[in-house]
Amino acid sequence: MNGPLRTTALEIVDDEGRVCARLAAGEEGRVGLELIDATGAVRARLALGADGAARLELRDASGRPRAVLSSRAGTSFELRDPSGRERVSLGEHPNDATALRLSDLDGVLRVGLGAWADLSAGLELSDPQGRKRLGVTERPGGPAGVNVWDAAGHLRAVLAMGPEPDRGASVEFWDAGGEYRAGFGVWPDGEVGADVAERD
What are the Cα distances from residue 4, in Å, to 8, 12, 58?
13, 17, 30
**Amino acid identity for residue 81 in this structure:** D
Give the C-alpha separation, 197 to 199, whole Å.
7
Instruction: Give all domains of the chain, ordered by start, each with its CATH number.
Output: 7-72 (3.90.930.1)
pTM here is 0.84
pLDDT tens digits for range 65-107:
999 999 987 899 999 999 999 999 999 988 889 999 999 999 9
Tally Cβ neighbours within 10 Å of residue 141: 10
Give the C-alpha separation, 157 to 178, whole Å.
11
Q: Is the Cβ–Cβ distance between 30 and 49 less than 8 Å?
A: yes
Does residue 136 surpass a pLDDT of 90? yes
